[in-house]
Amino acid sequence: MKLMTRLGPVDIEADEILHFPAGIIGFPQYRRYIILDHDADSPVKWLQAVEKEDLAFPIAAPADFAPDYAVTISAEDLSALGVESGADLRAFVILTIPRGAPDRATANLRAPVVVNPDTRMAMQVLTEEDHPIRYPLTAASPLECVQ
């Protein structure tokens, strides 16, 4: 299927679509997303809504800038994702990159997006840990290539 995205038109397969039963916080009506690479050399990706071409969130794997980052996912959320352990999930955090000021970028470590790569079920969870919502990224972060 052809999908119009913030990065332009892309061809996607149905098995690439992530299903968010509750949507993303603040956007509960959009429940189908895909993950797109920003470019080949960047660890930054885009969580692109399938139903709304102008809705996309920059995301990154937290290990790229916070190697000690760990979260506890509730048993209820694990069950909703169809797993028994968080070890079976992939985690991403949503980035905020101020226009024209990527050096002031932050990551929301409190509410990561977790994905079951086998079932394509995903959700944004609120962590039990007291992680910051606006974790500042440094100049050595993966955002150097995002302008």
User: Per mean pLDDT, which range of 5-9, 62-66, 85-89, 92-96 is the poorest?
Assistant: 5-9
Mean pLDDT, the chain, rounded, equals 88
45: its two tokens = 């990706």
Encode 21-53: b = buried (16+ Cβ within 10 Å), e = exposed: eebbeebeeebbbbbbebeeeebbbbbbbbeee
Range 2-141: architecture per CATH: Roll (2.30)
pTM of the model: 0.87
Whole-number percent of the chain with pLDDT over 90: 56
pLDDT at residue 145 tops 70: no
Q: What residue ranges do the domains of the chain occupy?
A: 2-141
pLDDT at residue 140 tops 70: no
Which whole number is the average pLDDT over 109-136?
93
Whole-number percent of the chain with pLDDT over 70: 93
pLDDT at residue 101 tops 90: no
User: Would you say the C-alpha torsion 81, 6, 143, 111 has a positive or negative sign?
Assistant: negative
- 11 touches 2 (CB < 8 A): yes
pLDDT at residue 142 tops 70: no
Tell me, what's the pLDDT at 66? 84
pLDDT at residue 50 tops 90: yes
Q: Identify the band that residue 1 occupies on the pLDDT scale cut at 50, 70 and 90.
A: confident
